[in-house]
């Protein structure tokens, strides 16, 4: 058995104290209706892909609230779109649960990514950023290879990155724009999973990002909704294929969540102003509210969950 260094022992002791304090602290009930900002929101637009730290209000990814308990100690995760939104929330949670993390993002999102990498390191874990465009098959292969090299292996893969643009009519969608949505949301996970699969051992976990759009698509998200229905199907199909190998495949289907995806063309300005008001709580979700789902789907206690789509949509959606 490998002997702990004094530095490792001190780190574990500090984590144990935090965990003990967290469990001993009485947690008052929180009313979900008023926990986070409600519309009306300020109309705001950023050129694609948008930056989370420039939004108003700035999304909560769990920076100050997520407390880990060592549930993913020693794990090695690759998260696409890990610089902001739901991917960022998952990256923060994973690091605080003891995992080393590689995040992928577009070069324009470097400032958001730097914040995430700093938070991973503050959690005492290794964090690496690999920028690049997932529409490129060769880059997707390189991404997996670099992630494995940097982490020393791979056992959690989250295909979170997505492209979403609102269009009033199908006539407004160019072939180029349609191609971008399909390649980002469907081709990239296909390429990445193929590259990663030979390296995944029994007990590993693959998680895809679906959406309520797969079940109840909006009229102005014609192409995006198709990709989320396809994601739901690939999760269920791949789970059957990989179950005999001991690899679990699941998906998460959010409803309206306050992320940079929405203010960089994912919603009209009119919809930004009232974003999330039609949920049961009268507000959009925050990325931090979904983080624990990704932890559960990757940790050992979720071992019987495969081929499942976990919904978190504030009262809407069907999974």
Taking the C-alpha atoms of residue 163 and residue 261, their distance in angstroms, rounded to an integer, is 7
Q: Which residues are catalytic?
A: 224
For tokens 């109840």, the residue is 216
Specify which residues 80 forms β-bridges with.
Answer: 104
For tokens 């499942």, the residue is 308
Per-position pLDDT tens, the chain of length 319: 445 566 665 665 665 666 556 656 788 999 999 999 999 999 999 999 999 999 999 999 999 999 999 999 999 999 999 999 999 999 999 999 999 999 999 999 999 999 999 999 999 999 999 999 999 999 999 999 999 999 999 999 999 999 999 999 999 999 999 999 999 999 999 999 999 999 999 999 999 999 999 999 999 999 999 999 999 999 999 999 999 999 999 999 999 999 999 999 999 999 999 999 999 999 999 999 999 999 999 999 999 999 999 999 999 777 6
Question: Which residues, in sequence order, are CB contacts of 11 under 8 Å at separation 6+?
Answer: 124
Contacts 24+ apart (CB under 8 A), 232-238: 232/309, 232/319, 234/186, 234/189, 234/190, 234/208, 235/208, 235/210, 235/307, 235/309, 236/307, 236/309, 238/193, 238/206
CB atoms within 10 A of CB 3: 6
| Residue ranges of domains in the chain, CATH in brackets | 45-312 (3.40.50.720)
pLDDT of residue 5: 66
């Amino acid at each position: 058995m490998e002997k702990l260094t004094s530095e490792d022992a001190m780190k574990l002791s500090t984590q144990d104290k935090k965990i003990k304090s967290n469990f001993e602290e009485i947690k008052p009930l929180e009313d979900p209706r008023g926990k986070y900002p409600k519309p009306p929101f300020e109309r705001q637009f950023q050129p694609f892909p948008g930056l989370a730290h420039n939004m108003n209000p700035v999304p909560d990814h769990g920076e100050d609230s997520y407390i880990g308990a060592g549930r993913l100690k020693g794990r090695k995760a690759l998260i696409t779109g890990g610089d902001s939104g739901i991917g960022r929330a998952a990256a923060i949670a994973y690091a605080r649960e003891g995992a080393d993390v590689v995040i992928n993002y577009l070069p324009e999102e470097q400032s958001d990514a730097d914040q995430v990498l700093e938070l991973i390191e503050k959690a005492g874990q290794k964090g690496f950023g690999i920028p690049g465009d997932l529409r490129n098959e060769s880059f997707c292969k390189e991404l997996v290879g670099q992630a494995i090299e940097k982490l020393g292996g791979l056992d959690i893969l989250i295909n979170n990155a997505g492209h979403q643009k609102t269009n009033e009519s199908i006539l407004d969608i160019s072939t180029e724009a349609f191609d971008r949505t399909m390649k980002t949301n469907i081709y990239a996970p296909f390429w990445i999973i193929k590259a990663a699969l030979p390296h995944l051992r029994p007990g590993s976990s693959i998680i895809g990002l679906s959406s309520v759009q797969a079940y109840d698509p909006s009229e102005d998200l014609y192409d995006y909704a198709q990709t989320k229905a396809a994601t739901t199907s690939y999760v269920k199909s791949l789970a059957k294929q990989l179950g005999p190998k001991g690899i679990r495949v699941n998906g998460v289907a959010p409803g309206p969540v306050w992320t940079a995806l929405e203010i960089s063309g994912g919603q009209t300005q009119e919809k930004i102003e009232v974003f999330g008001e039609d949920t049961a709580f009268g507000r959009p979700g925050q990325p931090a509210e979904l983080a624990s789902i990704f932890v559960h789907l990757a940790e050992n206690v979720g071992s019987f969950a495969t081929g499942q789509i976990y919904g978190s949509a504030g009262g809407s959606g069907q999974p």
